[in-house]
Amino acid sequence: MSTQRIKTPCVGLCSTVYGDHVCRGCKRFHHEVVNWNLYNDDEKRAVWQRLEYLLVQVMQAKLDVFDAVRLRGQLEQHSIRFVPEQSPYCWAYQLIARGARLINQLDAYGVVLLPEFRHWELPTLRDAIDREFFLLSEAHYDRYIAPRFLREGVESRV
């Protein structure tokens, strides 16, 4: 595995340049994408934690990581980048995102799908996870961030 630390949630599929408030690639908010290099460590950590929290919600509803040590070992063996400090459910996402078309037996990686998803093909599950993760990020933006921007816009005109 590469020893290079993952420094940004960016996955190279940015949609904020097309006017999206939430990036369809990394799920960060547009202002987080634009200002990432200006953020201090605490601000970056807060973004990483929100993304982790939302992704873990999605993943726990679809699968179980029954052997985190095995999962980590497989990620390292197959040179799949992941953030070691994050939940093993985030690691499982990286595994499925990178290997959905190649994995035949998910349990060999320390992961098992919940019964209602066991008949799903992994590429279909990957796409469903990505959509749900995006929708949760978008809902978070709409609930907590957009109203603040509206208030700040009104206050600056007064």
Average pLDDT, the chain: 89
Q: What mean pLDDT comes out for the span 111-139? A: 97
pLDDT of residue 20: 82
Q: What is the 3-state secondary structure (H, E, C) of 81-149?
A: CCCCCCCHHHHHHHHHHHHCCCCCCHHHHCEEECHHHCCCCHHHHHHHHHHHHHHHHHHHHHHHHHHHH
Tokens 């279909």 locate to 124
Give the Cα-Cα-Cα angle 21, 56, 133 (nearest 5 degrees).
30
Report the distance separating Cα 37 and Cα 123, nearest Å.
Answer: 33
Q: Using pLDDT thresholds of 50, 70 and 90, give the confidence band for residue 151.
A: low
Residue type, position 91, single letter: W
pTM score > 0.85 for this model? yes
Residue type, position 42, single letter: D
Q: Which of 5, 14, 56, 6 is nearest to 32 (CA)?
A: 14
Residue type, position 118, single letter: R
Residue type, position 67, single letter: D
pLDDT of residue 54: 98
Q: Using pLDDT thresholds of 50, 70 and 90, give the confidence band for residue 7.
A: confident
Q: What mean pLDDT comes out for the span 61-80? A: 97
